Every structure is written in structure tokens, then in C-alpha cells.
Structure 1
């Protein structure tokens, strides 16, 4: 074995840091007895050197190796008690990923040697496995510090383009015929010319990527010849997932971010700090479990052999531990500083705010985040639920957070499906869900409104399928949401019936118009703009194939043009994207209400009617919106869920102004038409939006 000069080194920073002469290694473990640093050959196949880190400062083990070059492959082995019934699972036979590794060499295997116990032993995880896992795990890599040096964060802001576009880093481009073949399914493909043009056509303000942190394919999926497509199985919080690298590797990821920024499109990462790929007590030992199981994870009180499972994924990260909290914050800062990431969507975010006494918006994670100068100006989005006690926390997050609003999704689907009492629920959602969010100085953009997301039916499938069709997942169609509030419009699945096809497309247009006309932050699932289908699979987490990928060959170009029209309308009219909640307050300069509801005859709405279907909404700019003083920007929206065309009475136009219809979902192609002397007609089961314009300019 090669000999190196090992000295004590420093406890900070954590990870492997090259200083030009050698490498300082520092790793956290509160309960280990010793930590071995293992150096591997360039191909990662042979362990050439094993050295015990010589120094411990508090819970950090550290050492410095002079002369070690950038690019060195390495890993750790941790010594300590193997006593699962007391929460300790040290096993030095298992090579461990550095939690702070920024690059990986190699791929994860699927071998029993990756388990800390003997898989066939009668005592299961209480047994101890002596096989070396090194051949089956990737090696951490000593990175070039110059590449990851903090960057100056640019002023790339989306402005009026508040549309978030949720996309899979591979699935969006894998089947796109106009993306260069070498770039399809890669980070670089996301920023190819054709995709930039598509984003700009839609008026996208931010692309929100499903997890790009390094992750592991679950063994039960590999056994079924499937993969973890979505990536919610993280193991490396500082490492871009290599499977999406293009020709330029890590540099391609950075170039993707830069190109999107050059086109005023922000980049948001979906991050998973609630659990890891190591799973429950039956899972593999890959990193955190082997370094310090009792510190990194929340263990069951009284039975620390088992894990608290507030995530439904087998384990829950112990964010309350100062070094685990530090890991998360260091990770967030790294992505902002090294790559210029603009924001984060936190998966199962309730976990991050759960203290011993329950969810607390003033808890340790939120307190630490709030005072961090690097993260102060970064977009934060919460998925405000988990499966733990008191897990549904919609509206309860601190004011710095936007929140995914599943109530908006369900209300829109139920209304257009013709459910009773649906309009009453939808009314509040259209005004930013003030009942959930209008407190503590929060703004109406807090509500992230969506019709579909990666988890569930696509928009097109909500009009094609009345029930889920997840048989390909190998779980006997028992996985995925059971309550989709969907409707097949007469036939389950594909059909060549032109009447049903037209009905489905109109319903999609209705829901899309409802999304873009609502107060809040709109989010669009990639592919919904072209009527992409997953053939009824509402849980395509393991479908890294044509089921999960966006099908561009079958793109509905009319629907895409319609979405672009809606987005342009939203960008042009501040009345539909105000930042303050609207409660029908009088505007001081003209006495008009900032929001008014009416029926189609101009009278009051009968809100107590369970079958209420047809309502009109007038939106006027409040104090913080463009054109407030002039009063010019007024939008009138008519929702007609009945089977009949209906005439509608519009508010009186001020002198010199006329009403113009700019949105009409009963038609695929949109034409801007002034309203004549006759009452305008809103088509059956459709939405129309009218705006006031100067008569001279019409």
C-alpha cells in the first residue's frame, strides 16, 4: 500500500478540501470509536491505503494528507459498537460515502454486501455481516476547489413571469426530436436552444427540477427491472446525480443554470432532506447509518432498533441534531454559491419543522434558515405535509415560504367534474386561499397553485381516466393516490370518438384558464401544455421509460399555443397576479371594490346553493398592483359549468373604455374580440375573461 504523511489536520470545513498541497479530511461522528480513511486506485477498484484519522475535535474526526492530488478516490469506514437495539450500527466492513462529497466515481450496485447484517440470518438486522461492500459502492472524489468556488449571484429575476414549470431532468428531453441526440435526457439538454425557446413561448419564470442530488435505485425496484425515476431517494446532498450528465459532465450542469439565467429563467431544485436512501432497519449501510446511525436519524423511543417513519420511506433525518442541521444548511448554501441555484422546493417539508412537541414554524430549522445571509434571498417552497402526526400543515409555514396548495388542485378538478359544493371551495382558491395564507404578513403569491404535479395524474389523464392504472409498477395497482377527482369524459383511456376528444380538450383548457386567472403562483407540470399522458399511471416514480417521459411526438400544439396565450395574458394584467389578498375592500381613489362576485345577470351569487355552477368574478388592481391609480387594469371572468350557452352582464365600462374578450376556452384558437352592444355569450362548460381597454385603441 502507498504511504502518505498523515497529520492532524483541522475539524473545519467538513468534507475533503484540497488546499493546493494536500487534502484535509473532516467527518462528523459523535458515537464512533475510530474512523478509517480509505484511498482507492484511479479506477476505484482497489483500496490502496487505509489510515485511521488521527484527531478528534468534539464530534469531528479529521486528518491531513500532504501530497494527495485532486481527483483522489476515497471513502470511510467507521468503528464502533454494532448494537441495533441501542441504535448503534457501526460496521467497518462497509465503505461509506462522505456526506460532503461533491463528486462520485462509479455507480451503486445491488448486492447483499451493502447490508450491515446477514440478509438470510434468522435474527435479520441484529446479525453482523463481514463482507466488504467497497466493490458495490461509488467512491467519493476529492474535488478541485476552484471549480466549486462561490460565484457572484446574478440578478436574474423572472419579473412578471411568475410561472413555475416542474420538470424531470431527464424525462423532459429524452424523447424530444429537436434536442441534439447527445443532449437528450441530460442537464445540458434542459438548456438546449429548443427547450429555451419552449420555455420562453410559455412565459416560464422558473424551472423546478425533480431531485438532482445523487440517489440510489431501491433494491426492490432493481429486482423488478425498474429504477427510481423520480429520484426521491437521496444519498449525496452535495453531488449532482451523474446519470443526467451530458458530454461536459459537471460543467454541463453549471452551463444549464447559466443558460437559463441568461434567458431570465430561474432554477429551483426539489430537495429531499427528510429521509435518505438507507431506508429502515432492513436497508443498506451506505453513509449516514454507518457513520453515526443514532445521530443522523430519528429513532423510535424505547425501541431504537427501529426508525421514526414520518416520511413513509423508512427513516427520518434527525434535523434537530446540530450537525445534521448543519449538513442541510451547508448543502443549501453550496448549491446557491457553487451553481447559482435560485430556490428550493422542500419535499415533505413538515418533517423539517417537527420538534419534540410537534410542528413548529419557529423551530430550529426555520430559525437557522431565517438568519442565514446566503439563503435570505432564495425562493423557498414547502410541500406542506408528511405522514407523521399532525403532518398536514398547509398555511402554517413561515412567511418566507411559498407552499404547494393541493386544495387548489382538488377544487379545480372537482368543480369541472361537476361535483356538488365545488364552486364554494373554488371561490376561495381563486383569490389565493386567504383562509389558509392571509396571516403573519404573508402575500397571495404564497399559494403555489397547480392542476397536476409529478405525483398523480397528468392534466390530460384527469380527463381520460376515472381510476389509476399503475399495474406496471408491480404493486398490484395499490400504490398512488386513490382520490384523483378525475373523469374519463365517457370512455376509460384512449378513444377515437371526436366528441369525447373535444370534451376532454375543452376541460383541459377550462382548468388551465382557471389556473392562470387565479391569485397566487401558478405551477405547470411539464408536458401538460401539450396534453402529455402517462396512460393512467398516477405514480410513475419507477417508470424511467416512455410512460414517465414527456412524449413530444404526440404534442398537442394547439394546447401549447393556448397555454402561451394564458401566460401572456397573466403577464399583461396585474389584476390576476396581485401580491395582496383581496377581500372586497373599497379603493380610495374611486370607491370601487378590489374584487366582486356576481351571477350571470349581474346580481348576487347564491353561495348556499350546493349545485352552484355559474359565477362571475371582477378583479381590480389593489394598492400594490400595476395600474392601480389609473384603474385601467380590470379583469372580468365568467365561469359557466352548465350545459348551455349563457349571456352574461358585464359591469358598466367607464367613459372612453370598452370591454374586450381575451380568453374563451370553448375555442382552441384565441381571438381578441371587442364586446358589442349585445350581451356577450359564454359557451357551455367554458371560461371567458374580459378586460377593459381604451375605446380608441380597440
Structure 2
């Protein structure tokens, strides 16, 4: 077929992308500075036919091809000035991806000439490469939107304050899962396996937060080293899922996974990277945006537009001052909600998206657009509230309606359980929802996404096993990754058979998990932490697509299974008792209509903490009394709501044991121990303690008490101290 053999009509400038209408395909590509655009069609043998788009309307090049349909493979060649000093890098010798492509095919082979300049040239980025890259380039595929695919089910729509998030990787979660067929491992099809849903449902989480699933590229320098961009924070398409995550190559896999999660009562949140693309700096490849309209898509240095303003640390930053960039991102987000059924997004380096004029602005164009959008305003929006640009740390500064990753929570909780001094005052604020950060503009405790570990950093098992990072396998001489881990190896670096050390490490993991799940705000767990996944001390395994990061389901010990059940029990306890997930900040004041103070801080002697106690930097004990009847409810086994019980959380991060005197309340009830991390086994018939009784606490331990009203029977089984009752296998739920 030659160009003259292809019929092309004017078509329309909207919608952008390739749109099949049942008779033909409309192609529309935005470029404000191009001089000519060629649509490149590829047949099954890879032969290329070029068709010049005939119309240019409102800075959009467009044409309609009546003889083209779904499954057509295509790309673009864009003609224009090659003037790097003015921000233009046009090079028609390079095949480019459609920014609106719904599906991709092939793979990016770095042996091809994907740079618009000549590698090795004395002034490389100012040179011009005439070699064609089509044979080794990813390509777009026309899809049929009317085909629909599997229904994504009814979204669970869990309220923010009842949510428990679970961060996981599409590939790493199933690559070693014995109940997932080998051909499905590492894909959405693998995640759709019943065993996966069963584990997540049993755990009790309400939402999975997937690391990036948008199509991304493996950096050339990593491929040369035999590594890959495993995490996926290097996007090249904002609509198409990563081809490697589709066992069948069909978009239906994504919808099937979402449907399976929704049927299990679990929401799907995507980690999205709209702050930069995989094209990198001016020394990076030309794959899409750079060759289509570099000066529009990217933020360039004023007065020297050859270079990029880089607040992402990845070589470039998308230009959110441009309305077409905002349109691209908004269209992408709505597509994933409306067509793929997802329930929310976590925005990587979200501060970069609020930089209209260089500095962060909470009322920036994109943030304002998202807030008022009728689709996006109804889904969960989570910001990673920082980037690497000037003034990039913006925790607490995002608009109402947004939640934010709270690294202050992470650092304080880690420091407290490591035994650092002076942590208690800040810990108190973190446990109660971080009102000092989020308590403005009508925001709620759920604005704080609390986490102790995440994909970026140590796993929980490594946090208690290593004093320093061990990233040698990344090929950067252990220079990558943070040195501020606030971790503690408890006496030996890495694995050990020392019984005392392994026992203390297990206890510390429970301390950290229990703290997370009993705090106000929204807890986020890292996949694998519930059963001791270790990355061998690597705190930046972004390039490790191997056993370092893949969860090893076959090596979960009975001890680790008990930890998993304990996490499940804690999540059920949290879900059942709203005292642990209030929709308003704790103030230590009387709640209107109840005549009851919502919370109180106590010392180990049972008395209320005074100013002098808060100023004591040597204390390692903190006690938090939560009054359930102060506006909270409890759901009974029959589904009946009633005023919630009170709970007492006692934490001793010191090495030495102490005696905790239980505070007195005026309700005539008693204190029932539910969890003592120093002992851990499940008990039946643990005795309750009276007001003023002394309860012995081990060093490095957390104890949770539940207030039993007069005449009430406790749960049939609780998690508590071994010395106070009969052992029972498994972890019991709250059966009262």
C-alpha cells in the first residue's frame, strides 16, 4: 500500500487520539509548533504506510480514515523546526507514540536509534540524527471503545475514615505465588486469581494501591546493566497499561481484575506519575512528547530553552501551565475511572503538579480543575506532597478533598519504637490524626495517610534488621537510596539465629503494625509486611525485578502466618470500633451532646499527663485513653449500632519493664487486655483488671485494653498475655 492508496478525510479535532466510530478512525494530535504531521500505519509484517494529516484546527492536526479499524498499529512522524535553543526538537526520522494511545504493542529495543541527536557527537544534543527508529520502537494500537469488555462491577465506595490501604506491585505480588498459574504470574490476570482476592479479603483491607501500571520504559542505562525499571516510575503513556502486565495483551484483563476486587469489597487505587515522562533530560530519547511538541509539554528554562526545569529529579517536568497538558492529565484520569473502573489515584511527586509559575500553589490550575471535576471529585485523591524542586516539601498544603502521604508519621513512629528521645510529644499528635498539619479548612483526620513502610525504603522486616542500607546490587556503589532510615538491627546486621534478637525483632514489628492500625487517620500497609518479606536490606530496589522484590509465598513460616492473622484481627477491630477511625480530630475536650471528654493522655502511674511530662525528653512511655461513648459507635454481632466502648493504648518504647497503673473511669467497668505484644499468643478467658490495678509491661511493648461496661462479658477470644489465660491457636476476631 502506498500513501496515495489510503483515503483520508478531514475528520475532527476532537476527541484527541485515535477514535473508532464503527465505520472508520478519526486521528487527532495536538502540536502547537509542528509544521506537518504524518500518520504512520503498520501492517502485520511491520511495513509502514505514511498518511499526511490534512487538517489543522485549534493547534490540533487531524484526519479521518474510513478504511481503518480496531487493531490498526500506528505512530506519528512530526515535522517542524530543529532549534534546541528555542525548545524545539522536531525530527521526522523518529516514530512517536500517540499521547492518547489506549494500547501499545511491541517493545522498546535500545539497539535502535531512539535519540534525536547523534550519540557520541562532540555537541551531542545539538546534532541531528537521521537514522530511522521505527523497527525497534513501541507502537500504538487502535481500540474499539464500544466493545466495552467485562463490567467492572459496583464500586465499594468505602468512606475515607474507614479505609485501610495496601500498597502492592502488579508483578511482584504474584511472580512466586504457588496458586497462580505460571503463565499469569506478574500480570493483571495473575492478580485476578481467586487466591489473591482471598488473601486480601481475609486481611481486611479496603483498597489496593498499585504501583504504576501506565506503560513505562526501562531506562537504557539500566538495561545495559541487566537491570530494569521495576517500580515503573518512568511513564511514556498515560492511557495504555504497561504491556508486560497483560498476559493476553487485552485491556479486558485490567477490567476483570477491577471487577474481582470490587466483588471482594476492595477498591482499586492507582499510583500515577504525571509529573514527568520517561524521555528524561535533553540527553534523553525521543519517544513521544519531545518530538510532538517539546516546548508545550515540558517546563523549559527561561532564557535557555534547550534545558528542562526539573523538579522531579528525573530530567524533566510536565508543563502544567499549558491547558493541553492539564487536558491530557484530566482526560487520562477520567478514562481510568469511567472506562477501567478504578476508585482513586495516588499522585507521585504531586507538588510538581501544583507549580503553575515555578512555586507550589494550592490553587494551581490542575488542582483547581480536579477539585471541581464531576468525575474526579467523587474518587479518592492522594498526594505524595513533595518534589525535589525549590520549596518542594508541601505536606499539609493540598486543598480540601485531598489526602496526603504523611512522612512525619512514618519518621516519628519509627523513631519512637527505636527508642529515640524526645519523640513522645510529636508521637501524640501523629497518633491522633496530625491535626497540626491537616486541621485546617475543614479537613479531617483521613487527610493523613499514615504509613511506617512503603515501596520506597526498607520493608518492615528489614526496618528491624538493618542499621544501614545494602543497595550494592543496584550498581551505584550503594550511593542510591536514603541514609535516614531510622531503623535498628537490634544488635546484629541482617539475618541471625540469635533467639533473643529474633524475638525482639518480631515484637517490634507487631509494635509498629499495631501503632499504625490503632492510629487516627488512614493506615497504609506495604504488601508482604504482614508475613515478613525482606529485601535483604535494599532500601531502593527500583531496578530489582527478581527475587529481591518478589513476594515469596512458599517460605512463609507458621510464626509469620500468626503475624498475618494478627494484622487481620487488628484491622477487624479497627473496622468494628469507630473510636479508632473518627471522622473528626481528637481534642481532649468534651464532645457536644455527650458530656464526655473524647480522649486523655496518661502516664504509667495512671494520672493525666501534665505540661512538665510533655517536656520530659527522657520518657519512653505514652498512654492514650479513647472514650468511645464520646460520639462513636460500635457494631454488634447482630449489626446493631450502640455507643462504643473506651480503649486504652499503652506504649513502652524503653528497654526496661514498667508497671502501668490502669486509670479510673466513673462508669464502674473494668479493663480487659486485648493485645500485649510482649507475649502475643491468642487467649481465651483473660481476666479483666479493675481501675487502679497495676499491669506489668515489658520493655519495647504495646498493650491494648478494652473497657468493659458493668455486667458485660468480654470477647470469647482475645489477643493477650500468655501468663493470664489459656492458649488457643490462630488469631481470634472480635466476637462480642
TM-score range, shorter chain: over 0.9
Structure 2 residue 31 is the aligned partner of structure 1 residue 29:
yes
Give the equivalent residue in structure 2 for 1:154.
154
Give the equivalent residue in structure 1 for 2:584.
580
SS of corresponding position for 2:542: helix
Further displaced range: 224-233 or 628-637: 628-637
Further displaced range: 88-97 or 647-656: 647-656
Q: Give me the whole-angstrom Cα distance separating, in 2, the residues matched to 1:69 and 1:444.
A: 50
What displacement does 1:682 show?
Answer: 2.4
Give the equivalent residue in structure 1 for 2:124.
124
2:659 to 647, 650, 662: 647
Deviations 1:119-151 (A, max 9, x none): 011111100000001011111111112235897
Give the equivalent residue in structure 1 for 2:168.
167
Residues 622 and 455 of structure 1: CA distance in aligned 2, closer, same or farther (over 3 Å): farther
SS of corresponding position for 2:174: coil
Give the equivalent residue in structure 1 for 2:638.
none
Give the equivalent residue in structure 2 for 1:72.
72
- Give runs of aligned pairs for residues 72-91 of structure 1, distance below 5 A: 72-91=72-91
Deviations 1:645-668 (A, max 9, x none): 333222335546332111211123
Give the equivalent residue in structure 2 for 1:428.
429
What displacement does 1:529 show?
Answer: 0.5
Give the equivalent residue in structure 1 for 2:380.
379
2:688 to 675, 685, 694: 675
Q: Give me the whole-angstrom Cα distance separating, in 2, the residues matched to 1:596 and 1:420.
A: 22
Further displaced range: 494-503 or 613-622: 613-622
Residues 559 and 234 of structure 1: CA distance in aligned 2, closer, same or farther (over 3 Å): same
Matched-pair contact (CA < 8 Å) for 1:467–1:536 = yes
Give the equivalent residue in structure 1 for 2:209.
208
Residues 29 and 341 of structure 1: CA distance in aligned 2, closer, same or farther (over 3 Å): same
Give the equivalent residue in structure 2 for 1:570.
574
Give the equivalent residue in structure 2 for 1:272.
273
Matched-pair contact (CA < 8 Å) for 2:151–2:255 = no
Structure 2 residue 100 is the aligned partner of structure 1 residue 100:
yes
Give the equivalent residue in structure 2 for 1:658.
670
Give the equivalent residue in structure 1 for 2:729.
none
Matched-pair contact (CA < 8 Å) for 2:153–2:259 = no
Q: Give me the whole-angstrom Cα distance separating, in 2, the residues matched to 1:671 and 1:158.
A: 32
Give the equivalent residue in structure 1 for 2:536.
535
Residues 357 and 307 of structure 1: CA distance in aligned 2, closer, same or farther (over 3 Å): closer
Matched-pair contact (CA < 8 Å) for 1:272–1:347 = yes
Give the equivalent residue in structure 1 for 2:627.
620
1:9 to 5, 8, 11: 11
Structure 2 residue 158 is the aligned partner of structure 1 residue 143:
no
Q: Give me the whole-angstrom Cα distance separating, in 1, the residues matched to 2:400 and 2:137.
A: 41
Give the equivalent residue in structure 2 for 1:591.
595
Q: Give me the whole-angstrom Cα distance separating, in 2, the residues matched to 1:161 and 1:244.
A: 30
Residues 148 and 316 of structure 1: CA distance in aligned 2, closer, same or farther (over 3 Å): farther
What displacement does 1:152 show?
Answer: 8.2
1:634 to 637, 646, 650: 646
Matched-pair contact (CA < 8 Å) for 1:574–1:626 = yes
Give the equivalent residue in structure 2 for 1:558.
562
Give the equivalent residue in structure 2 for 1:239.
240
Q: Give me the whole-angstrom Cα distance separating, in 2, the residues matched to 1:693 and 1:147.
A: 57
Give the equivalent residue in structure 1 for 2:420.
419
Q: Give me the whole-angstrom Cα distance separating, in 1, the residues matched to 2:153 and 2:181.
A: 29
Further displaced range: 325-334 or 102-111: 102-111
5+ long unaligned stretches in structure 2: 636-640, 715-736
What displacement does 1:358 show?
Answer: 1.6
Extract structure 1 runs of 4+ deviating beyond 3 A.
147-153, 158-161, 621-625, 627-632, 653-657
Structure 2 residue 686 is the aligned partner of structure 1 residue 690:
no
Structure 2 residue 66 is the aligned partner of structure 1 residue 62:
no
What displacement does 1:247 show?
Answer: 4.1
Matched-pair contact (CA < 8 Å) for 1:75–1:139 = yes
Q: Give me the whole-angstrom Cα distance separating, in 2, the residues matched to 1:551 and 1:294.
A: 46
Matched-pair contact (CA < 8 Å) for 1:580–1:624 = no
Q: Give me the whole-angstrom Cα distance separating, in 1, the residues matched to 2:643 and 2:712.
A: 17
What displacement does 1:185 show?
Answer: 1.2
Give the equivalent residue in structure 2 for 1:409.
410
Q: Give me the whole-angstrom Cα distance separating, in 2, the residues matched to 1:684 and 1:139.
A: 59
Matched-pair contact (CA < 8 Å) for 1:662–1:689 = yes
Q: Give me the whole-angstrom Cα distance separating, in 1, the residues matched to 2:397 and 2:331.
A: 25
TM-score computed with the length of structure 1 as normaliser? 0.97
Residues 203 and 423 of structure 1: CA distance in aligned 2, closer, same or farther (over 3 Å): same
What displacement does 1:627 show?
Answer: 5.1
Q: Give me the whole-angstrom Cα distance separating, in 1, the residues matched to 2:681 and 2:600.
A: 29
Matched-pair contact (CA < 8 Å) for 1:213–1:236 = yes
SS of corresponding position for 1:636: strand
Matched-pair contact (CA < 8 Å) for 1:661–1:691 = yes
What displacement does 1:438 show?
Answer: 0.3
TM-score computed with the length of structure 2 as normaliser? 0.92
Q: Give me the whole-angstrom Cα distance separating, in 1, the residues matched to 2:152 and 2:111.
A: 43
Q: Give me the whole-angstrom Cα distance separating, in 2, the residues matched to 1:93 and 1:372.
A: 39
Give the equivalent residue in structure 1 for 2:367.
366
What displacement does 1:634 show?
Answer: 1.2
Q: Give me the whole-angstrom Cα distance separating, in 2, the residues matched to 1:112 and 1:104.
A: 18
Deviations 1:52-76 (A, max 9, x none): 1100001100001112121111100
- Give runs of aligned pairs for residues 278-427 of structure 1, distance below 5 A: 278-356=279-357, 358-427=359-428
Residues 537 and 357 of structure 1: CA distance in aligned 2, closer, same or farther (over 3 Å): closer
Query: For this pair of structures, how many residues does the alignment match?
Result: 696
Cα RMSD (Å): 1.8
SS of corresponding position for 1:24: strand
SS of corresponding position for 1:9: coil
Matched-pair contact (CA < 8 Å) for 2:152–2:255 = no
Residues 624 and 12 of structure 1: CA distance in aligned 2, closer, same or farther (over 3 Å): farther
Deviations 1:494-521 (A, max 9, x none): 1111111111111111111110111000
Matched-pair contact (CA < 8 Å) for 1:99–1:288 = yes
